[in-house]
Amino acid sequence: MKAWTDYMTPGDVHKAMAKWDGKWKGDVTMWMQPGAPPAKSTSTSVNKMILGGRYQESRHTGNMMGQPFEGVSTLGYDNARKVLVSSWIDNMGTGIMYMEGTWDAATKSAKFKGKSTDPMTGKEMDIREVFTIVDDNTQKMEMFCTQKGQEFKTMEIVFTRIK
């Protein structure tokens, strides 16, 4: 019973995530392929701890490729395995992106690795994300994917807290 209680009780990582609750403006830069010119847009995100402080749900809205965009992510910390877990869904696809990562207190960043569907091939591709806490009101997310054995940066979002 103690092991189950420890597994289900939000801890220090969950409390740190709760500090990210609120509304955020995102300055989005995307690259569709290596060397391609970037596309820029803005987004809005609302973060909220759910299920008794065990997970953080983020709802994102904006425009992508000239179309309305909406996405939902969940972020959690698995107390038993000692890893961050993340999922992502949006209206630009029908798959679920799943990643796991670790927190580096020295750099105030989380480093995630996972899989996502490559819509061009229909196969899974490796993805990597670096999420950095710049300060209490600024965060940066960098996304990388690997296609044909080559990793390249596909997205960068700088989030600024809306007060």
Mean pLDDT of the region 68-72: 97
Domains with residue ranges and CATH for the chain? 2-161 (2.40.128.20)
- Give the C-alpha separation, 21 to 16, whole Å: 10
Give CA–CA dist 10/2, Å, rounded.
14
H/E run at residue 140: strand 138-147
**46-65 pLDDT per residue, tens:** 999 999 999 999 999 999 88
Q: Which amino acid is at 38?
A: P
